[in-house]
Chains A and B, each alone.
Chain A
């Protein structure tokens, strides 16, 4: 708990929390974004519930017409009309970006917990964990994806049960790549959090007769994982953006779709600005969500939120 780095992070957290941000504005924007996204997916999956599949909810021509009526704001209305035209296509990419990120961070977490425990408490397993972490953190993620997708031709190993869940099985290759890579980073965050749990906690657990694994499971991990939340949130935010690398192995996520449309209409700046806004909305949502999780699991006297 007295680890200076961890304290600095926690103090930083507290500071951002006390800034009276335009909370209602954020909530409103978040509600609009997610409301639109959910309606959009629902509409397109159910084969055109409100408007034909892939068609905007509001006609871009109508928006442009509004702009013609108010010449002073013409540019704004033109941009909005542009966004309205292409957002439906991008929303499907947002879906894959979320699926890639959520699945990989979750599976990566499942791997990261044993990796970090092995690293902190293991004997020979600690070297195994170190080797894994260094290998995965020390090589480019894109290279890892290429090895999995092109090198190993991973698509041929997708089991029949999972085959066809996504239109393109490259998604599975991407999930495997992101999971393996993210596990290494998450393990590092969790490792440093485990080290900040007081050593007396493990001793006390052993003293009542818990085995080492039980003491880790019931005493150290519940505390360490709470300490790990801020760092882990960082990894989640990175992964949202790194998931764009899946475009290079043909996964039609947000970046890939943006790029495909831009190379068609040559409006690169506009298209990627639009994509940037969508990524930003995802990132802000993720960090808000993790803030809420951190508050939810806070325990009096433990970590930043408990104070």
Chain B
């Protein structure tokens, strides 16, 4: 019986007087795709950032592959090379080409040679369909292309877990599809993914579990069919109705 890949135990976090996470607990097995949904300010992004410790938890524990990642003696850089993150605003390194963006981690963090890092970057860019844009700078790419470079950059570290923080929220509607397609590919390749998104049809089709967060708590969780068709809580039902109306 192996450990779950990710175990979150009673994690709480406040910013000043505002409690954004209240005793959140959940687990993910390898290959799971867990989608966090909920109104803005419900703590979804904070939860994601606690996993790779861009944000520190106030209390509670997080384990990755059986290893505790919370706690002062943990090497956060070692943790982060195992956990890829994709940002809402892409955050591509503005001074580097697409290839340079993907190469930097393998080169400086994993210590690959320039040739190896370059080969790996080109492979990853090909996988997200951007082999022909390797020499373009971020400013020369469309939003959808930027986000695909962002995904390639995270994947080049060969992470055990991928975090997606509203990866399509900053995109024009016609560019969302290409990013979701790359993410679907990733699901099929068996990547474990923790995703914050408002793309309900995507969530419905790929999630192994959906968690509805509100006010820093998991209000409801379950497989997509259950949440979408038989939500137990009024709040879940109201949120889902509103968000599907907005996006249809």
Contacts and interface: CB of A to CB of B under 8 A. Distances in A.
B54 A300 contact: no
Contacts of A208: 80-81, 84, 104-105, 109, 153-154, 157
A304 to B, nearest CB: 13
Interface in B67-103: 77-78, 80-81, 84-85, 87, 89, 91-95
Interface residues of A, number: 23
A209 B95 contact: no
A209 B87 contact: no
Interface string A207-228: 1111100100011001100100
A204 B92 CA distance: 7
A269 B67 CA distance: 79
B52 to A, nearest CB: 6
A299 B92 CA distance: 14
Q: Which of B91, B93, B94, B109 has its CB near the most chain A CB atoms (within 10 A)?
A: B94
A210 B93 contact: no
Q: Which of A200, A207, A208, A211 has its CB near the most chain B CB atoms (within 10 A)?
A: A208
A203 B92 CA distance: 10
Contacts of A306: 139
B225 to A, nearest CB: 33
B137 A214 contact: no
A301 interface: yes
Contact of B138 (A219, A222, A226, A301): A301
B137 A300 contact: yes
B140 interface: yes
Interface of A: 198, 200-201, 203-211, 214, 218-219, 222-223, 226, 299-302, 306
Given A200-B89, A300-B137, 13 more contacts: A198-B91, A200-B91, A203-B87, A204-B91, A207-B80, A208-B80, A208-B81, A208-B153, A210-B104, A218-B104, A299-B137, A301-B94, A301-B140
Interface of B: 52, 54, 77-78, 80-81, 84-85, 87, 89, 91-95, 104-105, 108-109, 137-140, 153-154, 157
